[in-house]
Structure formats: C-alpha cells, structure tokens
C-alpha cells in the first residue's frame, strides 16, 4: 500500500471549552474592579439585539466571568469562512484566478478526479479541455473558454454546460457534496505551497476590486471582489482578547482557507477545512476523513454533520465514531457562526450564541428564526444583504436534507416539527 502523508498532522492538541454554567453578563461589561472586559464595537451596526447576544456570551464565558479558568478550559468559538467572515467565496475566487492564469493541471483521466463524476461530465471535460496538453501540465484555460466553462459549471452547478448531471451515485448528503469535494481534487498535482500562492494572489486581487464588481472567466460572469466583514473582524478580535480560542471550520480546501483566515488573525492551527493527502510533495485526489473513516475520495468533508465531526475531533480531541455525535456541554463550542445549511449542525451545537448570516438557506434559517433556546442571532449579510424572502421557509415540510438526499421537516432537539418561518432579518430591496 502506498504511504500517504497529510497536509498537516492528523491530530491536534485538544482545546477544551469552558464547562461552567453561564452567568449573567456583567453590568457595563466590567467585572472585578479595574479589569478590562473586551467589548464589541458600538460603531459597527448589527441587526436587532445581536450584538447584545454575542456580548452576553463573551461576558459569560470569557475573562470577565467570575468563573474564568483559562488554560485548557478556554471557551471555544468556531465560524464558517465563506460568506460568514468574508463576503463571497474564497475557494471560488481561487479557482477563478487559477483558470485565468492557466494553473489547472491536465489529469490523466477526468473520471479519476472524483468517484462520482459521471461519464457525461468526463466526456464534456475531455472534449472541452482536449488531450493535446501532456498529463500533469497546465491547461490553457485563460484562452480555452470551453475548458474553463466546463470546470466552472461542474464546480458551481454540478452539471455540464449542456445540462447533464456531473455527479451521480450514492453519498451521505449530510457528510459531503461532490462538487465541494472536487475542489481540492481539481488542484491535484500541485504542491501545497503552489496552492497557497494562488490563494494569496486571488485574495489580493479580490480585496482590491471594487465592491459589487464582477469578472469574466470563460463565458461565465462570477463575483470579482471580496471583503472581510468589519463586524466579524471585530468579533474575532474581541473574542480572542476575552480569552476564547477562535477557529475557522470550512468546507473549502485547507491551504486556501488558511491563507485567507490570516487576514482576521487566525493561524493555520486554528483553521479547519478539507485536508488533502499529499504524496511525494504533491496534492492527490484523496482526502483525510473524520471519525475513524480514514483516507477517502471525499466521502466525508467538513460539511453539515462533517463540520460537527471536525470540531469534535480536531478541537476537542474526540476520536472515532463518537466524533459524529453531539457532545456534552463541556465539549461543545460556546459560539458558532455560519451562513448556510452546511453550517447548521455545528452552529446549533453552540451553548452560548448561534450566529446566522441570512443567505436564504432553509434549514439554518428555520432553526435561526425558530430560536428554540433563545440564543439564535440572525443577521442580514453585512455587504449586499439579500432582500426579504417573500415566501415562508418550508420548515414543516421540506427544509431538512436527509442523508439520502430527500427532504423532510426540520425538527427541534425534542423531535417536534418547526413550523414554517417568515423572513424577518433582511436587507433593503435594491
């Protein structure tokens, strides 16, 4: 059997969340006389009482709590990355940059890049990208629009340019999605350092572009800019000052996410994403599983239940199948934040505040608006927020994605069904 090394170590030092019962927030944000209690900026606008909800948890669990213990008992906050901490998708920005600069290497077989890639997608990619370029050499995607288009369409829409399904077969829809798993597989053959450099170049370009700008890749028009949300940078900084361990948990490629997360003061050790297996210094199509699944072709990634597993395993040191399960209060994050259904499970596991940025994703919005424990905080996106969704979220009928991909009602922890919810945290219609 081939030996495989991983992008980073398979184990991380456990960081235990504070395991003490919450206490009331301190008056004026201070406790203990002259001790300074980190405060969220009042100059940055939040929706409703969301700032107060977050500040309450910071005061309850952080250095200003009378029960503060620190050390290995530091509280943990974990956030999704794309469209939660940063506006627009950093992985997509990196792919767009790579396509414009001929950085995708021709695989020996497109079918070998994903276990779920359909024959139709294999044919479409092979025909569009050709076979003239030697295997392992860069495809001329900056000039070959057809090749760039097929790659973007498979990644973004899980279909070919002619509308045929790009992925088929069986997978657990609460542990992976093939088009997400395909991203690091798309960069197979590169070194980790090369992929990091592409991510940095894409980041710098996107941050310099005007808000609202678009770019053309192939014949696709895709977002051309990105911004770190000022409110989220302030939240991360305040949490760190208050003694929290702050992590990113993303369904993107780990080297890409690590490069971007540096911009809000989060290091590689605290950045969790899809880990590719590296052989002979090169990224392979294989990924590191979670909860005892070992090396896979993307069967489980940090996606819905996979994010919970990643948090439990890589932050709290819980190994094996138990990592897929909801943990006791002491082994759960204090604050969780996300914007999509891929984040709903780990955000729901938070014991202090569940922060949701509204991108109209049904399950997480159903849970956010239902606010079963009174600690959900739903906020419009800070830049270009979506207008109000006029139809209610179908929580009682089809808001939940089952492992087999079917849909059913969203249920609370006690098994009761969440009724349909109206959209109430939204931006002004343009």
The reply to whether 415 falls in a domain is: no
Query: Is residue 186 in some structural domain?
Result: yes
On whether residue 33 sits in a domain, the answer given is: no
Same domain, 337 and 401: yes
Number of domains in the chain: 2
**100 burial class (0-12, 13-18, 19+ CB within 10 angstroms)?**
middle
CA distance 110 to 417: 43
pLDDT(142) > 90: yes
DSSP state of 209: S
Please tell me the predicted confidence (pLDDT) of residue 429: 56
> Are 237 and 99 part of one and the same domain?
no
Using a pLDDT cut of 90, give the percent of the chain over it: 89
**DSSP labels for 337-393?**
EESSGGGHHHHHH-SSEEEEEES--HHHHHHHHH-TTS-EEEEE-SSSPPPPPSSPB
Q: Are residues 342 and 219 in the same domain?
A: no
Same domain, 16 and 108: no
Q: What mean pLDDT, rounded, does the chain reach? A: 92
- Sequence-distant contacts of 34-39: CB under 8 A, at least 24 apart: 35/63, 35/64, 37/62, 37/63, 37/64, 37/242, 38/62, 38/63, 38/64, 38/238, 38/239, 38/241, 38/242, 39/238
Chain-centroid distance, C-alpha 351: 20
34 occurs within a structural domain: no
Tokens of 27: 């008056």
Mean pLDDT for the stretch of residues 143-152:
98
Residue 161 in domain: yes
User: Are residue 125 and residue 157 in the same domain, yes or no?
Assistant: yes
156-209 confidence digits (pLDDT tens): 999 999 999 999 999 999 999 999 999 999 999 999 999 999 999 999 999 999
Alpha-carbon span 91 to 248, nearest angstrom: 14
183, containing H or E segment: helix 178-186
Give the model confidence (pLDDT) of 249-279 as tens digits.
Answer: 999 999 999 999 999 999 999 999 999 999 9
Considering only residues 418 and 20, tell me which one the structure prediction assigns the higher pLDDT: 418
Residue 246 has a pLDDT of 98
pLDDT in tens, 83-134: 999 999 999 999 999 999 999 999 999 999 999 999 999 999 999 999 999 9
47: in domain: yes
Q: What per-residue confidence (pLDDT) applies to 285?
A: 96
Report the C-alpha gap between 39 and 52 in whole angstroms.
Answer: 10
Instruction: Render pLDDT for 288-339 as a digit per residue (tens, 0 to 9).
Output: 999 999 999 999 999 999 999 999 999 999 999 999 999 999 999 999 999 9
Indicate whether 423 belongs to any domain.
no
Contacts of 181 (CB under 8 A, 6+ apart): 114, 274, 287, 297, 298, 301
Same domain, 215 and 234: no
Res. 7: pLDDT tops 50: no
Q: State which of 167, 202, 223 marks the end of a domain.
A: 223
Please determine, for residue 22, whether its predicted confidence score (pLDDT) is greater than 80: no
Q: What is the pLDDT of residue 8?
A: 41
pLDDT of residue 4: 38
Residues with Cβ within 8 Å of 260's Cβ and at least 6 positions away in sequence, in order, are 81, 86, 90, 199, 203
Q: Are both 108 and 51 inside the same structural domain?
A: no
Q: Which of 223, 248, 274 is the C-terminal boundary of a domain?
A: 223
pLDDT tens across 23-34, in order? 333 333 444 444
Q: Does 79 lie in the same domain as 176? A: no
pLDDT of residue 29: 43
Of 223, 253, 271, the one marking the end of a domain is 223
Sequence-separated (6 or more) residues with CB below 8 Å from residue 332 = 17, 326, 349, 350, 351
pLDDT value at position 36?
78
What per-residue confidence (pLDDT) applies to 35? Answer: 60
Q: Is residue 187 part of a domain?
A: yes
Beta bridge pairs of residue 353: 335
Same domain, 20 and 133: no
CATH number for position 264:
3.40.50.1000
Domain extent for 60: 5-25+41-85+229-408
DSSP conformation letters of 294-311:
-EESSSS-SSTHHHHHHH
Q: Are residues 316 and 397 in the same domain?
A: yes
Order of strands, sheet of 282-288, starting from the edge strand that comes earlier in the sequence: 5-6, 276-279, 282-288, 295-296
**Token couple for 54:** 């977050």
Same domain for 217 and 314: no
Inform me whether the pLDDT recorded for 11 exceeds 50: no
pLDDT value, residue 5: 40
- 62, 171: one domain: no
């Amino acid at each position: 059997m081939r030996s495989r090394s991983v992008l980073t170590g398979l184990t991380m030092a456990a960081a235990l969340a504070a395991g003490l019962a919450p206490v009331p927030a301190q008056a004026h944000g201070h406790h203990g006389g002259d001790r300074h209690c980190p405060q969220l900026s009042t100059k940055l606008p939040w929706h409703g009482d969301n700032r107060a909800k977050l500040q309450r948890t910071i005061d309850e669990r952080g250095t200003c709590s009378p029960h503060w213990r620190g050390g290995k008992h530091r509280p943990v906050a974990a956030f999704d990355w794309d469209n939660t901490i940063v506006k627009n998708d950093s992985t997509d920005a990196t792919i767009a940059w790579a396509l414009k600069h001929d950085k995708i290497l021709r695989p020996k077989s497109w079918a070998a890049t994903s276990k779920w890639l359909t024959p139709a997608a294999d044919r479409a990619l092979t025909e569009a990208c050709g076979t003239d370029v030697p295997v392992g050499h860069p495809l001329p995607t900056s000039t070959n629009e057809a090749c760039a288009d097929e790659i973007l369409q498979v990644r973004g829409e899980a279909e070919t340019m002619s509308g045929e399904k790009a992925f088929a077969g069986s997978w657990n829809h609460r542990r992976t999605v093939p088009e997400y798993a395909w991203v690091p597989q798309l960069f197979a053959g590169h070194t980790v350092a090369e992929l990091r450099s592409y991510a940095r170049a894409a980041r710098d370009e996107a941050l310099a572009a005007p808000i609202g700008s678009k770019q053309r890749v192939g014949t696709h028009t895709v977002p051309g800019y990105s911004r770190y949300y000022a409110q989220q940078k302030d939240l991360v900084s305040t949490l760190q000052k208050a003694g929290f361990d702050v992590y990113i948990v993303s369904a993107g490629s780990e080297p890409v996410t690590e490069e971007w997360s540096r911009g809000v003061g989060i290091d590689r050790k605290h950045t969790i994403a899809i880990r590719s297996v590296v052989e002979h210094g090169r990224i392979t199509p294989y990924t590191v599983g979670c909860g005892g699944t070992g090396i896979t072709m993307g069967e489980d990634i940090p996606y819905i239940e996979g994010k919970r597993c990643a948090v439990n395993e890589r932050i709290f040191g819980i190994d094996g199948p138990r990592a897929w399960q909801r943990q006791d209060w002491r082994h759960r994050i204090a604050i969780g934040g996300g914007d999509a259904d891929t984040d709903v499970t780990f955000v729901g596991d938070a014991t202090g505040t569940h922060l949701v940025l509204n991108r109209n994703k049904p399950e997480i919005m159903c849970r956010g608006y239902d606010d079963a424990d009174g600690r959900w905080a739903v906020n419009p996106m800070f830049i270009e927020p979506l207008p109000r969704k006029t139809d209610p979220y179908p929580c009682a009928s089809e808001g939940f994605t089952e492992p087999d991909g079917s849909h059913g009602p969203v249920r609370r922890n006690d098994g009761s069904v969440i009724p349909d919810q109206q959209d109430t945290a939204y931006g002004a219609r343009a």
